[in-house]
Amino acid sequence: MADVATANPTEIKPGDHAAYIKLALFLAMKSPPKPTNYRVGAVLVNATTNEILSTGYTLELPGNTHAEQCCFEKLAATHAIDAKKLSEVLPDEVALYTTMEPCSVRLSGNLPCVDRILGIGKKIKTVYVGVQEPEKFVSNNSGRGRVERAGIEFVHVAGLEKEILEVATAGHVTEKDS
């Protein structure tokens, strides 16, 4: 994972989806390992200009925050608006890159990431993911289906699944640990 550790967002070429997933993985590594959540990274990109609008990772902000939530809340803060009003400031062609399929259920009672994505409206055109959410915490995550039914393209970017799951599950107790 050496190339992930040196992810440089200024060198990512337009359409290099694997590089954006690597950047999201680099961000996920900043999340503290815990047995109760996945370490996920997210990158929000203006698909027209290739400008990174915001980034986030699990537990970056106070509370039980997910990567996409942190990404959206940080962007909203830069515009001094509520995250529910992001559609007012986002460009028309936005892509979201996340290491793991956005959640459709939050056990903590927080708003699921899919609801946050759909709440932004039609600005996010594509969600690129590195892996689907494992069924450890929530069975049958409907994130992909809900995103697609809303008319947002859902694209699996293959090639980093092993690395993403290693980072995502750091801190989890395995059967051999117990």
Query: What are the residue numbers of the active site?
Result: 68
Q: Name the residue among 80, 68, 71 with its Cα closest to residue 53.
A: 71
**DSSP of 14-31:** TT-HHHHHHHHHHHHTTS
Give the phi and the psi of residue 46 in degrees, each rounded to 5. Answer: -75, 110
CA separation for the pair 45, 89 (Å, rounded): 13
Q: Which H or E run contains 43? A: strand 41-46
CA pseudo-torsion sign 29, 114, 90, 159: positive
Residues 6+ apart with CB under 8 A from 52: 9, 43, 44, 45, 46
